[in-house]
Structure 1
Amino acid sequence: MPSPRGSRERRAAAGAGRPEFLSLVSPRGPGIPDSPSRRREVSAAPGPGPGPGPPLPEEDCMKLNPSFTGIALRSLLAIDLWASKRLGVCAREGSAWGSARPLMKVIEVSGHGIPWLLGTAYGLCRSDSSAGREVLLNLLFALLLDLVLVAVVKGLVRRRRPTHNKMDMFVTVSVDKYSFPSGHATRAAMVCRFVLHHLVLAIPLRVLVVLWAVIVGISRVMLGRHNVTDVAFGLIMGYMQYSVVEYFWLSPLSAPTLFALWSH
């Protein structure tokens, strides 16, 4: 039968081999094991504790994934760029419809601001009727308003022209390096609505005016000058600009000085 002294020595030797942290948490010395209740007390004791853990997967998703609106806008932009490049069939001489490029450039000149400004000013000077001068003066006002509004929007948005565009446009200024919106499209839509409201034309001529406005807009994409959204927004903007012209319509009663100037 082993002696109590031998048993105590063996327990002491076993306790000496225990890890240090078990000895520290034991209230009765290194050789006496802790009870389960004591371990629960030690684990529940207050302490500095670990810092905030890594973010949850849901938090990562919130940071990495943009909003639905952002995804939709980027998708529409990608579709716009892709469609504009595919429809730019006359962008260069070696394009799919490169042989039609000269015709597209003639249509481009027909919607340019300078021919319209010069032609309207000439007609205003040569007109000998008060009704004709009134219509032409308001058309001149509409063309100048279009130039100012398009320049302001282009300067604010600053969207570059498509990369497949060839910079050989007819009479450009500094703001023409930007693409949004299409000035030709705004002008075509506004002039189309103006002519249909203030000139008495036969139905075939009215159809031709509408077709001209649509073809001018399409030619901007085919030449690679603009993206599809540039032209679409330009047509809407030009259509709405006519409402502004109608609201501020110049007449001998509202602007007698101007009509007195042009009547001499």
Structure 2
Amino acid sequence: MTERSKRNVPSVLKEILKFDSYMTKRFVLWGNSILPLRTFRVHYKGLEISCHGIPWLSFWIAFTWLFDNPNLIQMQVNMLLGLVLDIIFVAVAKAYFRRRRPILNTDDALGQMGPDVFSFPSGHASRAIFVVYFFTRLWPLHWIFHFPLLAWVTSICLSRVMMSRHYILDVLGGCALGILEGFLMEFLWIEDSTARSLFSVVSDEKIDGGEYHV
């Protein structure tokens, strides 16, 4: 099978992608008529950084290392596992689908590395959805935090389209992936004693309450 035949896109899919591109342009034009991009670019960039994979992974590793509270270890280890899975799934999906980012995408230094040059699915959307799923279902925070989380994830998804980083279908695909990651983590959930054991191996410290502790 030649490279050209491998890259041949079915006509139905071409029409879907064409319609997605058209609707994305219409949405961005409509959005900028209400919230001019130039005015909100700083806010959009802040949202972009707040959900980028590298800062999230770096922050969470540092958070887990510095705040080794025994009551938090299970949450920290499971979230770290989920973040790693998200990065892997997004990278594999982008490398497979290889959809180019919107033509208007500019000033995207964080998205010019490896598979991240491609558009589908949105890693920001999948990561944001997973984080909200995690803290509302897997490790539920008090309900007072639910509204800020929902506002954050909604802003993340909208900003990805408004900045022309992604098409609407990319964001929807990312949202679906984030939900699937949440479901997967329910099956892969690491119990407290196991999480403490793993943390002890990595940090070379003994944590009270672990199955190794005597």
With normalisation by structure 1, the TM-score equals: 0.66
2:148 matched residue in structure 1: 208
Aligned residue among 116, 125, 130 for 1:190 = 130
User: CA 1:71/1:152 → structure 2, altered by over 3 Å: closer, same or farther?
Assistant: closer
Q: Does residue 84 in structure 1 map to residue 20 in structure 2?
A: no
What SS is found at the alignment partner of 2:103? coil
The range that moved more, 95-104 or 111-120, is 95-104
Distance in 2 separating the partners of 1:255 and 1:97? 44
Contact 1:190-1:242 within 8 A present in 2 as well: yes
Alignment gaps of 5+ in structure 2:
1-9, 206-214
- The CA distance in 2 between the partners of 1:156 and 1:71, in whole Å, is 18
Work out whether 1:178 is the aligned partner of 2:118.
yes
Q: For residue 247 of structure 1, what is the aligned residue in structure 2?
A: 187
Query: Is 2:169 the partner of 1:229?
Result: yes
Unmatched 5+ residue regions in structure 1? 1-69
2:157 maps to which residue?
217
* TM-score normalised by L of structure 2: 0.80
Q: Is the 8 A contact 1:89 1:223 kept in 2?
A: no
Note the 1:126-205 alignment, pairs <5 A.
126-170=66-110, 172-197=112-137, 198-203=139-144, 205=145
C-alpha offsets along residues 8-39 of structure 1, whole Å, 9 cap, x if unaligned?
xxxxxxxxxxxxxxxxxxxxxxxxxxxxxxxx
The alignment status of 1:125 with 2:65, answered yes or no, reads: yes
Name the CA shift for 1:256/1:137 in 2 (closer, same or farther; >3 Å).
closer
Query: Equivalent residue of 2:40, what SS?
Result: helix
What percentage of aligned pairs have identical amino acids? 32
2:161–2:168 Cα contact (<8 Å) kept: yes
Give me the whole-angstrom Cα distance separating, in 2, the residues matched to 1:233 and 1:219.
15
- Preserved CA contact (<8 Å) 1:160 1:178: yes
Secondary structure at 2:120's aligned position in 1?
Answer: coil
Q: CA deviation at 1:242?
A: 1.2
1:137-183 C-alpha deviation (Å, 9 max, x unpaired): 11111101100000000000000001111142436422111000000
Measure how far apart 1:77 and its partner are: 2.1
Contact 1:89/1:97 (<8 A) preserved: no
Larger CA Rg, structure 1 vs 2: 1
Whether the aligned pair in 1 keeps the contact of 2:129 and 2:178 (CA below 8 Å) is yes
Secondary structure at the residue paired with 2:104? Answer: coil
Paired with 2:173 and 2:65, the residues of 1 have a C-alpha distance of 34
Residues of 1 paired with 2:29 and 2:50: CA distance? 20
- How far 1:83 moved relative to its partner? 1.5
User: Would you say the 8 A contact 2:90–2:121 is kept in 1?
Assistant: yes
In the comparison of the two structures, how many residue pairs are matched? 192
Structure having the larger proportion of residues in helix: 2
